[in-house]
Amino acid sequence: MKIDKLRINSIDELSNIKNLSVKADLIFVFGYRKLMLNEPFTLALKKHYPEAVLFGCSSAGEISGIEVGDDSVVITAIEFENSTVKLESIQIEEGADNKLLGAKLLDKLDKNGLKHVMILSDGLNINGAELVNGIEKTLPGNVTVTGGLAGDGSDFNETVVYDKSGKPVSNCIAALGFYGERISVGYGSNGGWDSFGLERLVTKSKGNVLYELDGKPALQLYKQFLGDKAEGLPASGLLFPLSLREDGIQEPVVRTILGVNEEDQSMTFAGCIPEGAYVRLMKANVDRLINGAENSAITTTEILPKDRAEIAILISCVGRKLVLKQLIEEEVEAVSDVIGKDVCITGFYSYGEISPFRKNTPCKLHNQTMTITTISEK
């Protein structure tokens, strides 16, 4: 595997694309939506790499090495020695069954020789938990899946994903299949957030929309928790996600707010909030978040040892970025210290992460985690 990487900060730097030296089979593209939607940007990529698969999405921050940037695009070109990749995509129609969408998307991928699937999805118009459920039920048992939901800074206006034709479009979900005997993949996901306060029963919800907790309007109750910070919703909700525990499931997942409805006092989340589940408010501790990123990297190396990993795709939640602020690069450095300085690091800040917590656990939609995928042909 040969890898080359480039960060572009403006349309004036497009000529730098020709400096990418590898004969790429795959290009990861993570970045600023407005720059990605600038037509000359995609044209320049396709001109330099007409045969390469473009796989990427808009972000809430871009990761390149141990540096985190904003309003840029990180391009990572990969030339495989013995492996291949195939891309499929599907559009999200209004009112679509998200679980069925996931199943339909995976049905498009050739399962013969399939080793791993990466998913990138629109980050706003999707129930990510249902999407992952549909994908999980369609995958062969020996195939793993990781990925994330596209971001749009802290604006929450529009997210885009590259479709099969190589265009960045909204309301899109893309699946990238990895094929070949030499392909090995590691993965891990960890948060580091702390739960506090009383556990509340979800008494009314539908899909990813929460209406009532303990029989009271959800938004009203949540605003009481937030106090003055409630004025900044939905963005301020990234600082106070919910821990969700379903009956019979030992390990809770984190759910982040995507939107609020003042009229019916409901809250929309990135994944399902089923009735009968229990939720608790969460808050951040800087050291715990950085330790969470480190633990995610440790989990990843337990699956794919660091002396074999060649590239690491980091997908971390925008909420972590808002909490860590000027310390944001410390969570990336913590990952780099574990996986090794020779591993190429690329990635983005997301509206949701897709991964098993660790080996032999089911794939889930996560929020507020550092999720890592490492890939090797060694």
**Is the torsion defined by CA of 341, 347, 349, 352 positive or negative?**
negative
Report d(CA 344, CA 289) in Å as an integer. Answer: 22
Report d(CA 324, CA 61) in Å as an integer. Answer: 13
- Note the pLDDT tens digit of each residue in 135-184: 999 998 899 999 999 999 988 899 999 999 999 999 999 999 999 999 99
Report d(CA 361, CA 355) in Å as an integer. Answer: 9
- Note the pLDDT tens digit of each residue in 84-113: 999 999 999 988 899 999 999 999 999 999
Neighbours of 24 (CB within 10 A): 24
Q: Which of 298, 249, 239, 296 is nearest to 276 (CA)?
A: 249
**Which residues, 6+ apart, have CB-to-CB distance to 228 below 8 Å?**
none
Q: Which of 144, 163, 23 is nearest to 79 (CA)?
A: 23
> Which pLDDT score is estimated for 52?
97
> Which pLDDT score is estimated for 154?
80
**Which residues, 6+ apart, have CB-to-CB distance to 94 below 8 Å?**
none
- Tens-digit pLDDT string for the chain (378 aa): 999 999 999 999 999 999 999 999 999 999 999 999 999 999 999 999 999 999 999 999 999 999 999 999 999 999 999 999 999 999 999 888 999 999 999 999 999 999 999 999 999 999 999 999 999 999 988 999 999 999 999 888 999 999 999 999 999 999 999 999 999 999 999 999 988 889 999 999 999 999 999 999 999 999 998 889 899 888 888 889 999 998 766 678 899 888 899 999 999 988 889 999 999 999 888 999 999 999 999 999 999 999 999 999 999 999 999 899 999 999 999 999 999 999 999 999 999 999 999 998 889 999 999 999 999 998
